[in-house]
Amino acid sequence: MLKQIEERFEISRAGMMKIIKDFHSEMGKGLAGEASSLKMIPTYIEPPTGKEKGEYIALDLGGTNFRVLELDLYGSRKTGAARMMKFALQKEHITGNAEGFFDFIAACVELFLKKHKLSGAGRLNLGFTFSFPIKQTSASSGILMSWTKGFEVKGVVGNDVVKLMDEAFARKGINNVRISALVNDTVGTLAAKSYRDPKCDVGVIIGTGTNACYPESLSKIGKWRGPGNRTGKMVINIEWGNFNKLISTSYDKELDERSANPGRQILEKMVSGMYLGEVVRLVLKDLVPILSKEKSFETEYVSAIEADKSKNLIAVSGLLRRLGLPGTALKDRVIIKKVCAMVSRRAARISASCISAIVMRIDPKVSGKHTIAIDGSVFEKHPAFSRNMKSALREIFAKKASMIKLTLAKDGSGEGAAVIAAVAASA
């Protein structure tokens, strides 16, 4: 039975080429404003040139922990070391009202400015990474479409989050900070790496959620009705988690039906850390009926199990004991490890296929070098994810795979927001 299940999770080279073809089709439709599973959202942001200079502030808000940082750009693709402070939002903040929520964040920014003696400085441009679903209306404004990640702050959905943040700054008397750019974490990751590396043209998140972005020629964004810009390019937020031209197994369908958003975020449900552990659990339920409770198998367990190279899978045994499963047989532990490997390998091959599609859109013959900036816990911490992605790229591109470099851009979204603030301020 395991062999049959493994076959359902395997994606051949032909399967990856089909993903690339379908991804290209959806990209084209999304850019033209036609119905597509890829939103292809214009961000109003140009890619950095590497020549931007000055001192910039960033506010990186993507969950209950957030960061405020300062970054000096030297204009020659070099930066100073970021100065940073981390803060935590409490339950009363994320379930309260808009004023209390933004006032708390403003108070943290005020504390940062005082600590680093920036309160009395001249005007500071701030980049605001806000990693929730936003309808961007300009480089420095965006309407919150819905909260995610357990946030339920009242009075924010349907409103411009930059305006709400500016109002909180005014209430705190922070008069020398101007929010010049609103970005999501994927765009920030691309900006942070591409400022230093001119070959970086794709930003990817593979963590709790997953997404990607890249710079597109304005002339190829059929739905764009805005003005031109200096570079003739704009970063496109693909929102690839919603890509739905993938072959689903019965386990994927079961997970999707039980999810809070059935029929949506199909790629995310096969790739991201929010769901990988549950896919593994659903498969194991048929093979080793020991994990019956829904969402009881975390994605971090997948990484830990695949990292166990011991003959008797001692670490796997210990993990299962902590989950209330003492005395598991070695044959069951072997099956569990194989299932983890097949689910994570599929996720890596899907990710590599979609990255390949983006690279081919930018450079159809892959005649130049491309750096892919990737952030996120799955890519960073899973012991085989990066290796599986590189293997898939070699299958797709053969020798030309050497033109594509996957690089970890850890916590790039904060520094990237500062870089984008510089880009927007100089526009």
Identified catalytic residue from 36, 37, 131, 194: 131
Mark whether 67 is an active-site residue: yes
Catalytic residue among 22, 60, 166, 185: 185
Instruction: Round to whole Å and give the CA distance between 16 and 22.
Output: 10
Whether residue 346 lies in the annotated active site? no
The encoded tokens of residue 300 equal 């971090």
Q: Of these residues, 22, 36, 67, 351, which one is catalytic?
A: 67
- Assigned token pair, 37: 């599973």
- Note if 185 is an active site residue: yes
Question: Which residues have a catalytic role annotated?
Answer: 67, 131, 185
